[in-house]
Structure 1
Amino acid sequence: MKRPTWILAPCLLGAALLAQPLLAASLVPPAGYYAPVPVTDKKARACQATPQPYTDKLVFRSKYEGSGKARATLNKESEKAFRDKTSTITELERGVGKQVTYYMREGQPEQLECTLQWLSEWAEAGALLSTDYNHTGKSVRKWALGSLSSAYLRLKFSESQPLAAYPQQTQQIEAWFIKLAENTVHDWSNLPLRKINNHSYWSAWSVMATAVATDRRDLFDWAVEQFRVGANQVDPDGYLPNELKRNHRALAYHNYAMPPLMMLAAFAQANDVDLREENQGALKRLAERVLDGVDDQDDFASKTGEKQDMKELKKHSKYAWLAPYCTLYACTADTKALKHKMGSFNNFRLGGDVSQLFDPKKPKDS
């Protein structure tokens, strides 16, 4: 395991610090990740050809190209260019999430082997590791890492130990995840507060998932620190000032910030780090502001001076954060009803079937 650089300090304090990681407990995910793989007689799904590994420079057009400081007006031409150039990356993310979800429901070894084949081929190619990137490119890298490592966690920690028979592939995949995570830390560290928004939270989530998958305490600590920065941006009324700048998409982006923040808190809690009281209960305050806003947009409209765009907020997958939320907090009856109405939640950015991780008694989708 790679050690944090401070461990190398040539002094007695350094020697004392050196002992700490050796004594620290291994990092773990929330309890739902230990779910066993079922034994079924369902017919195996066909494994599609591995998407072409993306090894080119990470320079992409933004879908908000030309929209000004608010970055809130969609440019259809640049969005198409972005989708076309990143198509194999998205195919990998969505495909791995689906395969792992199917495997954890159906238990067909072909599904596991297909997942490992896709990941190991991208790892072997050194995909997504280019040092030539723009803002959209480094964003794509951290989104991909979060999708892949969070799905992989379900295989890593299942009590059935499905990865035990594949040591060479898992070693290769995890080494690639670590390289992606270290790049992500480099890409998103030391930003001025005015530039820290949902991108930083999603970066922290991708690094947290990788930290637990590879037992890297230094990556875990970085992710927790990014959560704290985010939590301390929440104002007394539950708003994120940098997301209010998105004008008519402000509410949508407040909601978009919720999944990574909630998953970070859930993973920290599993490792005896309670982040719920950070900045006087900022996470719950933010969640309540978002839920109130979804019910009635007047406050967000008043804050931004614009009517809120609710298009994205009609998609149930955008509320996947409710699954961990109702394990971290005592949800109200209304929130529980909303969660029940919208679930099961499946969000590939969070590794697939989120409901089965935090609410395992909920009926599974077919």
Structure 2
Amino acid sequence: MADWAQLSRRTLIIAGASSWLVPSIGACASAGADLRPPFQTLPPEKLVKLDRDVETPEPVIRLSGDSRYVREDPARADVDPDAAEAYERAVAPLRTFEREVVRHANRYVRSKGETPAHAGRAGGMLWRWAKADALDEMKSDTAHFNRSASVAALSLAWMQVREAIDPEDEGRREIEKWFDRRGDEVRDYYDEKDPDQRSTRNNHRYWAGLAAAGAGVAAGSSRLLEWGLESGEVGLRQVDRDGALPLELSRGKRALYYHAYALGPLMMLAEIGARNGRSLYDFQGGALHRLVRFTLRGIEEPERVAAKAGAPQEPLGRDGGPFDAGDVAWLEIYDARYRDRNPWARRMAELRPLTYTRLGGDMTLLFSGQNARA
């Protein structure tokens, strides 16, 4: 088997030169295999069955809960401690499941396909949730947002291991049907909302777009992929000349945080689109490039964001520092395709490994090809 690092980097270099000359999305509607993941996948050395006995958290069928922010705060910037505690309790089982599935998927990739048992475990966990029709009943806007982010994470994990799962295993089709249902529900929820609501145009919509696009690639649905990419365009159309997103600026002291947060799904959508014949990288005169520059410059000089948001910016880092590595995990995608345009290109070595569960886990492994952790 070709070395994973060389294969990943070589493929991405070729991609940057050729803009991924692939059929249009409409031409890819016939089969899931025709819809390309955003990263190079491993040709399996050995096919495995889903591990139906793997220890799996209890499926979350219904989810409720409200925002962690003070209801009366129009900027949704001030955290309500009681609401935040209730929110964390509500989403904890979901996040545990995401981490475990993504962990197994990353381990399979890191082994260069030599530990197919990890692929079987990731798939087995997804099968258990698909069998239970998990994430079917969402009881609040916050719950719908968390379903979007979860479907995004899980679909990206599935793409990492799918080719190692025996096509004759009926559970594989059950998983893909589940992704198709959840993707449809994510799309329908946002299509049916009042278009004047902020969440139909801010980072909630971009995460919904990534959920739909990820589910589309996982299930072989070009219609879901199309809607997901359109959601990315919703965001990129709003990027102003300075590179800012007006709806994220409206978050006041949290504006910088939400710019970095919005870039995760937007960057992944751009890469999925580029792999499937519809690049968003140069959409709206290179809006994504402007957004990257504005956000990274804002981390270095938060007063620039403060001037546009009308409020001093909170540090992104949990320890009070300017940021955590996960806040800029999307940089691995950008660096792989546009290293010459990456303002932080020289900092990448010190930042790695860059990981973020809801973007598929170890981004350094998936996009730079580096074996981040044993």
Q: TM-score range by the shorter chain?
A: 0.7 to 0.9
**What is the aligned partner in structure 2 of residue 288 from structure 1?**
293
Unmatched segments (≥5 aa) in structure 1: 1-17, 40-46
Distance 1:24 1:126 in 2: 21
**What is the aligned partner in structure 1 of residue 195 from structure 2?**
192
User: Taking structure 1 as reference, are residues 110 and 233 closer, same or farther at Cα in structure 2, changes over 3 Å only?
Assistant: same
Q: Return the letter of the residue paired with 2:79.
A: L
Aligned counterpart in structure 2 of residue 346 of structure 1, from 355, 361, 374: 355
CA RMSD of aligned residues (A): 2.4
User: Taking structure 1 as reference, are residues 141 and 74 closer, same or farther at Cα in structure 2, changes over 3 Å only?
Assistant: same
Q: Return the letter of the residue paired with 2:152.
A: G
In 2, are the aligned partners of 1:60 and 1:137 still within 8 Å (CA)? yes
Displaced runs of 4 or more, over 6 A? none
In 2, are the aligned partners of 1:178 and 1:214 still within 8 Å (CA)? yes
Q: Per-residue displacement from partner, 1:108-165 (whole Å, max 9, x unpaired)? A: 34322322222111111111111x5211010111111011001111112xxxx31126
Secondary structure in 2 aligned to 1:86?
Answer: helix
**What is the aligned partner in structure 1 of residue 333 from structure 2?**
324
Distance 1:26 1:238 in 2: 34
Secondary structure in 2 aligned to 1:33?
Answer: coil
Once the 2 structures are TM-superposed, how far is the Cα of residue 22 of structure 1 from its aligned partner? 5.2
Q: Return the letter of the residue paired with 1:192.
A: P
**What is the aligned partner in structure 2 of residue 233 from structure 1?**
238
Q: Return the letter of the residue paired with 2:269.
A: L
Distance 1:28 1:20 in 2: 9
1:88 aligns with 2:90: no
Aligned counterpart in structure 2 of residue 172 of structure 1, from 174, 182, 198: 174
In 2, are the aligned partners of 1:238 and 1:289 still within 8 Å (CA)? yes
Q: Per-residue displacement from partner, 1:5-57 (whole Å, max 9, x unpaired)? A: xxxxxxxxxxxxx9994599921123x33234689xxxxxxx8731111123x
1:33 aligns with 2:36: no
Once the 2 structures are TM-superposed, how far is the Cα of residue 319 of structure 1 from its aligned partner? 0.7
1:218 aligns with 2:223: yes
**What is the aligned partner in structure 2 of residue 13 from structure 1?**
none
In 2, are the aligned partners of 1:38 and 1:105 still within 8 Å (CA)? no
In 2, are the aligned partners of 1:247 and 1:304 still within 8 Å (CA)? yes
User: Taking structure 1 as reference, are residues 358 and 251 closer, same or farther at Cα in structure 2, changes over 3 Å only?
Assistant: same
**What is the aligned partner in structure 1 of residue 117 from structure 2?**
110
In 2, are the aligned partners of 1:345 and 1:354 still within 8 Å (CA)? yes
**What is the aligned partner in structure 2 of residue 155 from structure 1?**
161
Distance 1:281 1:309 in 2: 28
User: Taking structure 1 as reference, are residues 288 and 172 closer, same or farther at Cα in structure 2, changes over 3 Å only?
Assistant: same
Secondary structure in 2 aligned to 1:120?
Answer: helix
Q: Return the letter of the residue paired with 2:345.
A: K
**What is the aligned partner in structure 2 of residue 42 from structure 1?**
none
Q: Return the letter of the residue paired with 1:142.
A: S
Once the 2 structures are TM-superposed, how far is the Cα of residue 247 of structure 1 from its aligned partner? 0.4
**What is the aligned partner in structure 2 of residue 273 from structure 1?**
278
Secondary structure in 2 aligned to 1:91?
Answer: helix
Once the 2 structures are TM-superposed, how far is the Cα of residue 363 of structure 1 from its aligned partner? 4.0
Distance 2:243 2:371 in 1: 33
Once the 2 structures are TM-superposed, how far is the Cα of residue 188 of structure 1 from its aligned partner? 1.7
TM-score for the superposition, normalised by structure 1: 0.85
User: Taking structure 1 as reference, are residues 214 and 345 closer, same or farther at Cα in structure 2, changes over 3 Å only?
Assistant: same
Distance 2:55 2:295 in 1: 40
How many residue pairs align between the two structures?
Answer: 334
User: Taking structure 1 as reference, are residues 363 and 76 closer, same or farther at Cα in structure 2, changes over 3 Å only?
Assistant: same
Once the 2 structures are TM-superposed, how far is the Cα of residue 221 of structure 1 from its aligned partner? 0.9
- Name the % identity: 29
Aligned counterpart in structure 1 of residue 263 of structure 2, from 258, 263, 285: 258
In 1, are the aligned partners of 2:183 and 2:212 still within 8 Å (CA)? yes
In 2, are the aligned partners of 1:237 and 1:289 still within 8 Å (CA)? yes
Once the 2 structures are TM-superposed, how far is the Cα of residue 252 of structure 1 from its aligned partner? 0.8
Q: Return the letter of the residue paired with 2:195.
A: P
User: Taking structure 1 as reference, are residues 293 and 138 closer, same or farther at Cα in structure 2, changes over 3 Å only?
Assistant: same
Distance 2:277 2:180 in 1: 23
Unmatched segments (≥5 aa) in structure 2: 1-25, 47-52
Q: Return the letter of the residue paired with 1:261.
A: L
Q: Return the letter of the residue paired with 1:29.
A: P
Distance 1:24 1:301 in 2: 44
**What is the aligned partner in structure 2 of residue 7 from structure 1?**
none
Once the 2 structures are TM-superposed, how far is the Cα of residue 345 of structure 1 from its aligned partner? 1.5
Q: Return the letter of the residue paired with 1:172.
A: E
Secondary structure in 2 aligned to 1:308?
Answer: coil
User: Taking structure 1 as reference, are residues 95 and 235 closer, same or farther at Cα in structure 2, changes over 3 Å only?
Assistant: same
1:144 aligns with 2:144: no
